[in-house]
Amino acid sequence: MNSVLKIILQRLALGLLTLFIVSIVIFTAVNMLPGDFAQAILGQSATPEAVEAIRKDLGLDKGPVTRYFEWLGGALRGDLGNSFAQANFASFVGDDSGVRTSVAQQIAPRFANTMFLAGVTAAIAVPFAVTLGILAALYRNSVFDRVANISTLTSISSPEFFMAYVLILFLAVLNPILPSLSNIYDGMSFGERLEKTLLPALTLTLVVTAHMMRMTRAAIINLLASPYIEMARLKGIKPMRVIVRHALPNALAPIINVIALNLAYLITGVVVVEVVFVYPGIGQLFVDSVKIRDIPVVQACCLIFAAAYILLNLLADILSILSNPRLRHPK
């Protein structure tokens, strides 16, 4: 148990170090974006004095190192700053009546929508991909196996926006079964929210299923030549029972890894899908904030994406260690 705890703590330490390095990259990249928010909000006819006043009010006149540590310190305290774009313009020119919206208040409902989309996608994709992988391993080199491989490879080779438009064409235009736009708002019932989310969820399902299906298939086939599997077959156990009861539990480590990576993609890679379906998630907010150079929101979105990806990778490592005795007791 001590060895497991030590490995977990090492993974957590490496994850925190990675997140710190990524935060530096995020801050540097975001601040290298062309354009200036102060100039954008005032227009081309703005005087240099007015632009400088807004830059000073927003803290953009400080050095990059100072701004980075102020941002990092605020993030560690849970304070991601105030949104530039959501601030009342009056507050920029000295009017106390101006009210600024915090980045956390702006991101929270969008992040909840993205998590709902990711949850619906995971509920569809994970059982479907694992079942498909088990059946492909059971009937390997058959017509079913070839069709499943060709279909999944086709879906993963196609860009997300292309798959989204294909589904819109067949499920919203030619056959109006699902809505083409995801108009999510507060107060919607669970059924309405699920209906609006189903089409982008199906798009993401087509994208992530291939990885999970092929890894499940490969991991199970790799174990089918093991002596204990041969012994189970010689005892007359049915092929499906051999795979589900004997092969699948020992193939969990690579399957867990690929599932965790695809779940991380569902959170960090939804930007294109959310834009296509106008889904009010964090990906759509990220794109809108980049357009208007809302630096605090862009930095916060990037940090959330990075943290989600790192945490899910850490979770995959920990679950793999716990599910595999050889990883729990390394020589």
Query: What CATH number does residue 221 fall under?
Result: 1.10.3720.10
Specify burial of residue 187 (Cβ count, 10 A radius: 0-12, 13-18, 19+).
exposed
The Cα-based distances of 256 to 153, 185, 309 in angstroms read 20, 34, 15
Contact 212, 127 (CB under 8 A): no
Residue 168 sits in the same domain as residue 261: yes
Task: Give the per-residue pLDDT at 325.
Answer: 63
Please report the pLDDT score of residue 96 as a whole number: 47
SS3 content of the chain, % helix, strand, coil (to 5): 75, 0, 25
Q: Does 257 share its domain with 146?
A: yes
Structure tokens at 295: 């630096």
- CA gyration radius for the chain? 24
Q: Report how far residue 30's alpha carbon sits from residue 272's, in angstroms, rounded to the nearest whole number.
A: 19
Whether 133 and 247 share a structural domain: yes
Are 9 and 149 members of one domain? no
Q: Let me know whether 9 and 119 are in one domain.
A: no
pLDDT at 75: 83
Give the per-residue pLDDT at 41.
Answer: 65
Predicted confidence pLDDT, tens digits, the chain (331 residues): 567 777 778 888 888 898 899 889 988 888 777 766 666 666 666 677 777 777 777 677 777 888 888 888 888 887 877 777 655 444 444 444 445 678 888 888 888 898 899 899 989 998 999 889 888 888 888 898 899 888 888 888 888 888 888 889 898 888 888 888 888 888 888 888 888 899 999 998 888 888 888 888 888 888 877 888 888 888 888 888 888 787 777 777 778 878 888 888 887 778 888 888 888 888 888 888 888 777 888 888 888 888 888 888 888 777 777 766 665 555 5
Closest alpha carbon to 164 in 116, 198, 196, 200: 200
Q: Provide the CA 250 distance to its chain's centre, in angstroms.
A: 27
What is the predicted pLDDT for the residue at 326? Answer: 61
Residue type present at position 306: A
Give the whole-angstrom CA distance, residue 278 versus residue 185: 12
Judgement on whether residues 67 and 131 belong to the same structural domain of the protein = no
Do residue 281 and residue 319 come from a single domain?
A: no
Does one domain contain both 211 and 71? no
Those residues with Cβ within 8 angstroms of residue 20's Cβ, 6 or more apart along the chain or in another chain: none
Indicate the helix (H) or strand (E) that contains 147: helix 143-157
Please report the pLDDT score of residue 250 as a whole number: 76
Position 86 scores a pLDDT of 58
Dist. CA 83–CA 280, nearest whole Å: 17
User: Domain of 241?
Assistant: 109-291
193 neighbors 116 (Cβ within 8 angstroms): yes
Residues 6+ apart with CB under 8 A from 193: 116, 184
CB 175, CB 222: distance < 8 Å: no
What backbone torsions phi and psi does residue 244 show, to the nearest 5 degrees? -70, -40
Q: What is the pLDDT of residue 173?
A: 87
Does pTM surpass 0.85?
no
- Structural domain count, the chain: 2
Return d(Cα 318, Cα 320) in angstroms, integer: 5
d(CA 152, CA 164): 15
In this predicted structure, what is the pLDDT of residue 153? 83
First-to-last alpha carbon distance for the chain, in angstroms, is 15
Q: What is the DSSP string of 20-43?
A: HHHHHHHHHHHHTSSS-HHHHHH-
Say whether both 213 and 330 belong to one domain: no
What confidence score (pLDDT) does residue 88 get? 43
Contact 259, 252 (CB under 8 A): no
Integer Cα distance of 142 and 148 in angstroms: 10
Q: Do 73 and 163 lie in a common domain?
A: no
Same domain, 119 and 92: no
- Tokens found for residue 308: 């989600």
E strands, the chain, are none
Statement to judge: residues 69 and 214 lie in one domain:
no
DSSP 143: H
